[in-house]
Amino acid sequence: MKLLLTGSSGWLGRHLAPRLEAIGHKVIGLDIAPGDHTDIVGTVADRTLIDKTFRGHGIEAVIHAGALHKPDIVRYPNSAFVDVNVTGTLNLLEAAVQAGHDRFIFTSTTSLMISETVRAGREGGAEQAFWLDEEFGPLKPRNIYGVTKISAEHLCRLFHKLHGINVAVLRTGRFFPEDDDTLIMPSGPNLKANEFLNRRLTVEDAAEAHVVALNGIADLGFETFILSAPTPFGRTDCAQLIANAPAVIARYYPEAKALYDKKGWILPDHIDRIYDAGKAERLLGFRSKTDFASILAALAEEREPPFHHDPHYLSPKEAL
């Protein structure tokens, strides 16, 4: 297919574009910043540019990954989030419907599921970890990033209802390579490794989920999927996870503590949210390849952990 990939210069885009091309798609990359996989430098907020791109390249489907996201909150005004994340998504949906597309893939975020209450977790008085699947709600995003992403999700749902276009909304967990901008302990690779228990996946798995969704959504209608590495935990673990996570982790991975000690890493003392990626597996047949067990296997074999860590990663638009 001839695909329009937005955000093609970004961290996800630069992993996804070659993967799509390897299986025979023609990818037209559009991004505000130049990059190896970007053919058109411009903004999704520019409807004229989007129309010209659709006409000029005979676009047959869109993967919409370009966005202002969490680290951009301190860099851009609220109105820029609305322009890019809401108006940009609307432009693409309208162009896709006009062109008669049968499918649309929207990269969303698990971040929009995090209200102030969920974020406060144990410190806010929660007695058990929040189990976050696609049914979780009511959703009350806590920042402009989440508010504009949930608005874009609503546009996707509306366009499916009005025009029948099949849409996969991929609420993606963390895959960024840089350090967390709020947590300092533990830091770096240790924090990332811990997050594979409940809220992270590799960028390669995130890219692959988009490939699978592009095929799978064609006859599914409108569906939302959480993407994260498969968690070992179940709902019955939620109370103990918030009280004593190492005890729960030891039940599933008895070897974890010794392997972590050897590396000088620490396990989380509590876990207050778990993303359940089961629906993507049930409906799309997608399951992340890299999980917490893969990380322990790397530690046991004294290999590098199987994920990217780059404290200096900066979205390419910031280098303009």
Ligand X SMILES: NC(=O)c1ccc[n+]([C@@H]2O[C@H](COP(=O)([O-])OP(=O)(O)OC[C@H]3O[C@@H](n4cnc5c(N)ncnc54)[C@H](O)[C@@H]3O)[C@@H](O)[C@H]2O)c1
- List residues near ligand X by CB under 6 A: 6-7, 9-13, 30-33, 43-45, 65-69, 84, 88, 107, 109, 172, 174-176, 315-317
Complex with ligand X: residue 75 or 303, whichever CB lies closer: 75
In whole angstroms, the minimum distance from the beta carbon of 70 to ligand X comes to 8
Complex with ligand X: residue 130 or 260, whichever CB lies closer: 130
Complex with ligand X: residue 66 or 189, whichever CB lies closer: 66
- Mark 187-218 as b/e (b = at least 16 C-beta within 10 Å): eebbbbbbbbbbbbbbbbbbbbbbbbbbebbe
Q: Are 242 and 185 in contact (CB under 8 A)?
A: no
Complex with ligand X: residue 53 or 109, whichever CB lies closer: 109
In whole angstroms, the minimum distance from the beta carbon of 61 to ligand X comes to 17
Residue whose Cβ sits closest to ligand X: 10
Q: Which long-range contacts (CB under 8 A, 24 or more apart) does 24-30 make?
A: 25/1, 26/1, 26/2, 27/3, 28/2, 28/3, 28/4, 28/53, 28/57, 28/59, 29/5, 30/4, 30/5, 30/6, 30/66
In whole angstroms, the minimum distance from the beta carbon of 4 to ligand X comes to 11
Complex with ligand X: residue 64 or 237, whichever CB lies closer: 64
In whole angstroms, the minimum distance from the beta carbon of 110 to ligand X comes to 6
In whole angstroms, the minimum distance from the beta carbon of 80 to ligand X comes to 8
Q: Rg for the chain (alpha carbons), in Å?
A: 20
Complex with ligand X: residue 175 or 253, whichever CB lies closer: 175
In whole angstroms, the minimum distance from the beta carbon of 2 to ligand X comes to 18
For β-strands 2-6 and 26-31, DSSP reports them as: parallel
